[in-house]
Amino acid sequence: MYNIKQILVIGLVLFFVSCIENSTIKKTSRVAELPFYKEATFMPHWLDANSEEADIIHRIPKFNLVNQLGEEVTEETFKDKIYIADFFFTTCPGICPKMTANMKVLQEAFLEDNDVLLLSHSVTPETDSIPILKRYAENKGVIDSKWHLVTGDRKQIYDLGRQAYFAEEDLGVYKTEDDFLHTENFVLIDNNRHIRGIYNGLNKMSVQQLIADVKTLQLED
């Protein structure tokens, strides 16, 4: 027969074991604070970041481009990194200068954080050569180790913009690769190449929300 003290001890042990198990379950099944996106409607999918479903959801595919230093830039450049992507061209007189200024805000916000990078794709790669990108980078205060301005094969860049990043807002409008790609959106990519947010690159409040979401994403692991 158990005495009262033994019963109390057993009860406490069972209570603490139950708490630990519940804590473990909550930790392993915690829904991520930022959604995942897998298609152009940007319908949010709230998943456990460590689940099989999150592991197989849409990812940015492999790519091979070149930056303002003439260096090869691929998906491996961003391995285990969070990054923000956009699309621009150096001779753009309209929205691009404002977008570049706001990308610079992001550069400053994460200047000391080696786990956050920026990636700007030229949508006129036939004219935005490496020397032109280099000159543009110097004029805009781009830090080469933090922010890649890339050029390369036009079809690859346009496929990335429309089919990988879903960067354009013209939902339901069919476009060929000959149609010009132009978007004001910034796209947030996590360290597993998943899309985790889309933001108006012209809006200062949206850019501040992006900064906050990057910090939230960093707490996910």
Res 3 pLDDT > 70: no
Q: Does domain 31-218 have CATH number 3.40.30.10?
A: yes
* Residues 7-55: tens digit of each pLDDT: 444 454 444 445 444 444 344 456 789 999 999 899 999 999 888 888 8
pLDDT of the residue at 220: 87
What value, to the nearest 5°, has the Cα angle with vertex 66 and ends 210 and 105?
A: 25
Q: How far apart are CA 189 and CA 85, in angstroms?
A: 8
d(CA 42, CA 10): 51
Give 205-221 pLDDT, tens digit per residue: 999 999 999 999 999 86
Question: Residue 22: CB partners within 8 Å, gap ≥ 6?
Answer: none
Q: Is the pLDDT of residue 102 over 60?
A: yes
Task: Using the predicted structure, report yes or no on whether residue 175 has a pLDDT greater than 90.
Answer: no
User: What are the contacts of 109-115 at 24+ separation with CB within 8 A?
Assistant: 109/211, 109/214, 110/146, 110/211, 110/214, 111/143, 111/146, 115/80, 115/81, 115/82, 115/191, 115/218
Please, what is the average pLDDT of the chain? 86
Tell me the pTM. Answer: 0.84
Report in angstroms the alpha-carbon separations of 121 from 71, 93, 212: 14, 17, 23
Considering only residues 173 and 132, tell me which one the structure prediction assigns the higher pLDDT. 132
